[in-house]
A and B are shown apart, each in its own frame.
Chain A
Amino acid sequence: MTRFSPNTLDRGLSWSRREFLRDAAGLVLGSSLFSSSLWARSGILQKDRKVVVITFGGGARDQETFAPEGQENIPNLMRELIPQSSFFAQVVNRGILGHYVATASLATGVYETINNFASLPPESPTVFEYFRKDLRRPSSDAWVVAPSNGFNRIGESSHRLYGPGQGARVILPKHLLTAATKGTADYDHLLRDNYETPFFAPEVVGNEFELEQLRSLLKLSVDDFKTHALTLSSPDELSVYIVRRLMRQAAPSLLWITMHDIDIAHAGAYSLYVDGIRRTDRLCLDVWKAIQSEPEYAGKTTLFILPDFGRDSDEDSAGNGFQHHRTGDAMSRTTWMMALGPGIREGVVYDRPLDSTDLVPTIGSMMGFSASQSQGKLIQELL
């Protein structure tokens, strides 16, 4: 069997995505030598800009997404979103490949080393804290919508210069639903949690506060919430429902959505993993449509979509293919990112390597704050 060095494989993945996208979507190969100040030319004042980030999680591989045989699973990304986006074909996550810690790394721009399964805040300042402190924004202007109780601490760090009360508010839709339904069996399909360690999702408290949020912030009665939830089929669908309410009622400038349905892969059922990818593909388009249709967002919002990381390759005998992300091989570390919105070049593919940590300083530059402690570099192609 042919052995690939990680670097060769990284380049191979990037190359196949780029070639495929050029063939399938008629995109052009980008260069970092374009003139800068794209955002400035978009004519949108920095103070009015909004950013929405979707993590396409938890963990999807090329074979099931951008490789030729995977395209059938992402029709909405392929046909609707990529032609409107700048696509980065090689985003490398050099950190720990656990979903919470990797998402925390994306949100801080620093490869975090916190325990993936503990209820701990990130150690470095989050993008939400930089945003709020530098721009003096209220807590209502930065939100995280996350599927799992394990993500309840992601909104703010334990850093001594930031920390409690200075980050994003976090909504855990499943927690909200549990509070609203008091564990009624009809909603169990929306309450799946933490596929790696289902019994050990850290507990969060505060049901009364959550239900009050439902009424006062989302302008949603408990009965309406329960009724609508019955029409949904997965936790990520529930998340996107909450996202749309949040966009309508609170219109935060910085909104972070963590998808997680795909992580059913840990249970080893390939069909359920692929179903998760297809659902996430559809939900990404739903969010983009919501951005286009909400007056507070239309024409002034950048959407980033990126996986937190990939999954193990079929070729690495140390793993079991799609099921896990444990080997640390190139396939599990190398992913992609797309950016859409005003000032972003459309239909362009960039194949230079980026780091997962480059996202936060780039958002900072777009919105006018400094991610001073991030390890990442600015993505000049977006600025």
Chain B
Amino acid sequence: MPTRELKPDQFNGYPPEARKLAIANLRALQVLPLSFLPSLLRELVEYDYKFPAERTSLEREISNFNSLAPEQWKEWFGAFEKIQLSASLEKFDWINQPAQFVEQLSAHLWTTHQQDDFRRAATEYGNRLHAAVPPLEPFFPRLSIVVVGQGVSASEYPLFRKLRPHGALYTNVNPEGGLDTLLEFVASRAKAHPAKYGHWYVDGGQENPCDSGVACISYRKLEPARNQLLARIRKQSEMPGSGPENLRTVMSALRPADLHLEHSGDAVLARFELKLLAEGSGTQIFSTTFAQWAAREALRRAQPLTLLVRFAPRQRQRPMNEMLSVAKETVELDPAGSLVDADLGAYYTWLNQQRLTGAGQSSFLAWFEGRNIAIATGPAVPRGTVSSSPADLRQILSWTI
């Protein structure tokens, strides 16, 4: 169906807030090219379950459509209009299944060698949007903290190599009470600067007690949901004629209740957890992947002021089909490999925070848990330096932020 034929009642399947937003902006949606609109609807249909930062950004993007003069439309969307779609894509129910449409569009773009054109169009669109509607600055400088190395007794691995050029390496850190210091620091920031989903604690293992002002998720707490998901994946894959596309469709149709993820009434956080498990690759089997991906998605979507990520040992590699089966009661862990995973995870967390607004004022700390090595980056931290002076984490935080 062409986008110009969009009608209000076609959004009846959308959650209430999303439907309201779509109908209020129907005229703008009707003139968007079909190669573009479903990717917007994919976000819009989730509006009711989005974090405040995402809602604001979506509202501002849609509002920008309404502000464009007719002559600007060609400039903004001309490249998308040139993308050739197949008849089956045009007939697809992209209003009610925008995510599946985007999956099929992606395959179509690769197959027809239009991926590079689309990528260029999307990049240009992103740049224009960024210039016209600059993302909002945080009201308080951001801070991310990454704790690596839990369960590692000794390691010669050269930690934080990718981060060292960007900050100060501390090699004589007093580890005593380190984790408690960091958890208290996060809680104190949440109290001092309350913001819904503005402060996060992600644990790749068993989480510590969590302050009520902090959004908390952990790999251990999600174990029942992970096992239920794996059972569903296996069941689906054993059905005759099933394939990757069917599986993705089934996964995208899951609701938090299907995995018993109702989160004491927090539908937004429950939805976030569902997506981490159902859409993340490897998040169901490796705790290090879970922690890295959860941090990445929390930063990208919630754009928090504070994020604490603690990596824990993942299971040792086993045959993939076995790892994807419902977990054994005891699994062998790989602390040394997990340290390497977490080290890169720390770098990726820093990179992802740097992609957000306020990057110039943001701070970052990574610490080898229970050990005397840490690295900090921030506007006041000299880059590429090493300090062997005795310090504890509280001091390092005070010098960093």
Contacts and interface: CB of A to CB of B under 8 A. Distances in A.
Given A198-B324, A269-B289, A96 B281 contact: no
A228 interface: no
Given A96-B110, A200-B243, A271-B340, A321 B282 contact: no
B348 A200 contact: no
Interface in A161-215: 188-189, 191-200
A271 B313 CA distance: 12
Contact of A199 (B237, B296, B338, B348): B237
Nearest to B321: A198
Interface residues of B, number: 53
Contact of A189 (B318, B339, B340): B318
A23 interface: no
A321 B319 contact: no
A328 B338 CA distance: 28
B288 A117 contact: no
Interface in B256-284: 280-283
B292 interface: yes
A198 B320 contact: yes
Which has the most chain A C-beta neighbours within 10 Å: B115, B119, B319? B319
A32 interface: no
Where chain A touches its partner, the secondary structure class is loop
B319 A200 contact: no
A321 B320 contact: no
A314 B351 contact: yes
B234 interface: yes
A113 interface: yes
Nearest to A191: B319
Contacts of B247: 197, 199-200
A269 B341 contact: yes
Nearest to A327: B119
B281 A266 contact: yes
Nearest to A202: B243
B176 interface: no
B293 A197 contact: no
B161 interface: yes
B191 interface: no
Given A1-B354, A188-B322, A267 B282 contact: yes
A87 to B, nearest CB: 26
A188 B338 contact: no
Where chain B touches its partner, the secondary structure class is helix
A197 B288 CA distance: 20
Contacts of B86: none
Nearest to A333: B116
B244 interface: yes
B295 to A, nearest CB: 11
A94 B237 CA distance: 32
A46 B234 CA distance: 52
Interface string A267-285: 1111110110000000000
B358 interface: no
Nearest to A328: B115
A126 interface: no
Contacts of B345: 270
B119 A328 contact: yes
Nearest to B315: A269
A197 B111 contact: no
B233 interface: yes
Interface of A: 1, 3, 6, 69, 94, 96-98, 111, 113, 117-118, 188-189, 191-200, 264, 266-272, 274-275, 314, 317, 320-324, 327-328
What are the 7 A-B residue pairs with the smallest beta carbon separation, nearest first? Answer: A268-B289, A199-B237, A267-B282, A268-B282, A271-B340, A271-B337, A188-B319
16 contacts: A98-B110, A188-B322, A191-B319, A192-B321, A196-B244, A200-B247, A268-B288, A269-B341, A270-B340, A270-B343, A270-B345, A271-B341, A274-B340, A314-B351, A324-B281, A328-B115
